[in-house]
Amino acid sequence: MNITIFGSGYVGLVTGACLAEVGNHVVCVDVDPDKVALLNDGGVPIYEPGLEELLKSNREAGRLTFTTDAVAGVRHGLFQFIAVGTPPDEDGSADLQHVLAVAKTIGEQMDDYRIIVDKSTVPVGTADRVAEQVRTHLAARGVDVEFDVVSNPEFLKEGAAIEDFMRPDRIVVGTDNPRTGELLRALYAPFNRSHDRLMLMDVRSAELTKYAANAILATKISFMNELSNIAEALGADIERVRVGIGSDPRIGYQFIYPGCGYGGSCFPKDVRALIHSARSIGYDAELLSAVEAVNDRQKDVLFKKIDEYFGGQLAGRTVGLWGLSFKPNTDDMREASSRRLMEALWQAGARVQAFDPVAMDEARRLYGERPDLTLTPDALAAADGADALAIVTEWTQFRSPDFGQIRQLLKEPVVFDGRNVFDSRQAITAGLTYFSIGRTARRPD
């Protein structure tokens, strides 16, 4: 089938590569000529395991092309995917200008039946606005052709996006036209083999499903983070509590890991957008507002512990930092807890020596050269000569370090673990004072 994808960002590229991989002819359209040139040269603007190879093989096979030519894009695909960004507006609502700009282009150029697929995470009611936009521009040209607007939200996790697309746990398709539903079923057939994972529903329910999924996951995390603060103050161990509740299948083990807050491109933005959508219809989303507030506070927890340990005297101190990305296996630092910690440390006059397995370039891009930030070639170098070590991202390679060596390298043998990745017994046996989340500090025996 012929498919056009507007927006060569994270979602657009993964969707394009995977749809091409199963034999479709995919044209990816982006307004940024530099990005398109990079993609045509075999480059990839983001880090995502497996994506580079998939883009390459499909480009070479002639099933995947990149262009800035939106007109050619509208001509090409029966399916017109909209996968452009929906950045938050100042008030937290999703900014739909890019989505509506694509709708305008489609309305201005289409001459045959088209299925417009909203892949971007967009507030309930956006499909109606896209349809309105297309209709207006068709009418202005005096053209009368049919089209449908479908909501087909993505549930990709950064770092596992290809796998999530190829083997989805659900494919949500929102359409009010049964015939279009069947065309989407055919498009997704290669990803829907062992049992039927495609859920057909009305457009608005599909739009809300995406927000509901992210909001409940964010709620689980904020719940555990709130509980971790209570556990710590009461002398309980949140990790024991976690295992104790996770064994109940109604609760489950996933997404109940306490930490120093969730970040990334989805949870913070989507929770805020849902709060805003609720407000716009006069509903005060109290629970979601609390999820957001608890997360915001949790991002300061590590700094507070460090500041308290040093008696508010952080000026001139150096903190070693392990992890910059908002989670492992990505270089994405959007709303990452590392940023809040670094910025608070700098504000207090401290220096940071940081290491991340893949996000070093991203940190350089965000912060440039500054005297209070050193990016080190490896994890141990970040600890070398530092007054304390802080862990912000749960990369596997941080889990079992040589604790004795860390003890040797640190000026002050103290670790602040924001993701509970260390084995506390091993840390204190090596002579480290160990602060973590939701557990009282452990000092060497």
Closest CB 158 distance from ligand UDX, rounded Å: 4
Please, which residue, 155 or 346, has the CB nearer to ligand UDX?
155
Closest CB 221 distance from ligand UDX, rounded Å: 4
Determine if 264 is a binding residue for ligand UDX (CB under 6 A). yes
- List the x/- string, 217-236, binding to ligand UDX by CB under 6 A: x---x---------------
Task: For residue 67, list its beta bridge partners.
Answer: 29
Contact 279, 360 (CB under 8 A): no
Q: Whose CA is closest to 313, among 346, 287, 348, 269?
A: 348
- List the x/- string, 98-137, binding to ligand UDX by CB under 6 A: ----------------------------------------
Among 42, 140, 145, 157, the residue binding ligand UDX under the rule CB under 6 A is 157
Among 188, 191, 223, 255, the residue binding ligand UDX under the rule CB under 6 A is 255
Contact 216, 285 (CB under 8 A): no
Q: What number of H helices and E strands is found in the chain?
A: 18, 14
Crossing angle (nearest 10°) for helices 267-280 and 286-298: 150
Please, which residue, 120 or 318, has the CB nearer to ligand UDX?
120
DSSP-derived letter for residue 286 is H
DSSP-derived letter for residue 121 is -
Closest CB 84 distance from ligand UDX, rounded Å: 16
Residue 156 marked as a ligand binder:
yes
Determine if 320 is a binding residue for ligand UDX (CB under 6 A). no
Among 123, 259, 323, 357, the residue binding ligand UDX under the rule CB under 6 A is 259
Residue 155 marked as a ligand binder:
yes
Determine if 267 is a binding residue for ligand UDX (CB under 6 A). yes
Q: Which stretch binds ligand UDX (CB under 6 A): 108-116, 154-162, 178-186, 361-369?
A: 154-162
Contact 81, 120 (CB under 8 A): no
Using DSSP's 3-state secondary structure scheme, residue 113 falls into coil
Instruction: Enumerate residues 6+ apart whose C-beta is below 8 A from 360.
Output: 324, 375
Residue 35 marked as a ligand binder:
yes
Backbone dihedral region of 147: left (phi > 0), alpha (psi from -120 to 50 degrees) or beta?
A: beta
Please, which residue, 51 or 138, has the CB nearer to ligand UDX?
51
Contact 149, 127 (CB under 8 A): yes
- List the x/- string, 158-187, binding to ligand UDX by CB under 6 A: x-----------------------------
Among 257, 309, 367, 422, the residue binding ligand UDX under the rule CB under 6 A is 257
266 has catalytic annotation: yes
Contact 16, 64 (CB under 8 A): yes
Closest CB 3 distance from ligand UDX, rounded Å: 20
For Cα atoms 321, 324, 327, give the angle at the middle one, nearest 5 degrees: 125
First to last CA, the chain: 67
Among 1, 89, 155, 185, the residue binding ligand UDX under the rule CB under 6 A is 155
Residue 220 marked as a ligand binder:
no
Closest CB 289 distance from ligand UDX, rounded Å: 18
Q: Whose CA is closest to 119, among 183, 72, 73, 173?
A: 173
Residue 157 marked as a ligand binder:
yes
Closest CB 324 distance from ligand UDX, rounded Å: 12
Instruction: Enumerate residues 6+ apart whose C-beta is below 8 A from 129.
Output: 96, 100, 103
Q: Whose CA is closest to 272, among 253, 258, 288?
A: 288
Contact 429, 403 (CB under 8 A): yes
Closest CB 86 distance from ligand UDX, rounded Å: 13
Instruction: Enumerate residues 6+ apart whose C-beta is below 8 A from 327.
Output: 158, 159, 263, 264, 393, 394
Segment 405 to 424, residues that bind ligand UDX, using CB under 6 A: none
Residue 181 marked as a ligand binder:
no
Residue 210 marked as a ligand binder:
yes
d(CA 270, CA 276): 10
d(CA 64, CA 230): 52
Residue 77 marked as a ligand binder:
no
Determine if 327 is a binding residue for ligand UDX (CB under 6 A). yes
- List the x/- string, 201-220, binding to ligand UDX by CB under 6 A: -------------x--x---
Q: Which residues of the shown chain bind ligand UDX in the complex (CB under 6 A)? A: 154-158, 214, 217, 221, 255-257, 259, 262-264, 266-267, 326-327
Binding residues: 30, 35, 86, 121, 155-158, 210, 255-259, 263, 269, 327, 334
Active site residues: 266
Binding residues for NAD(+): 30, 35, 86, 121, 158, 269, 334
Binding residues for substrate: 155-158, 210, 255-259, 263, 327
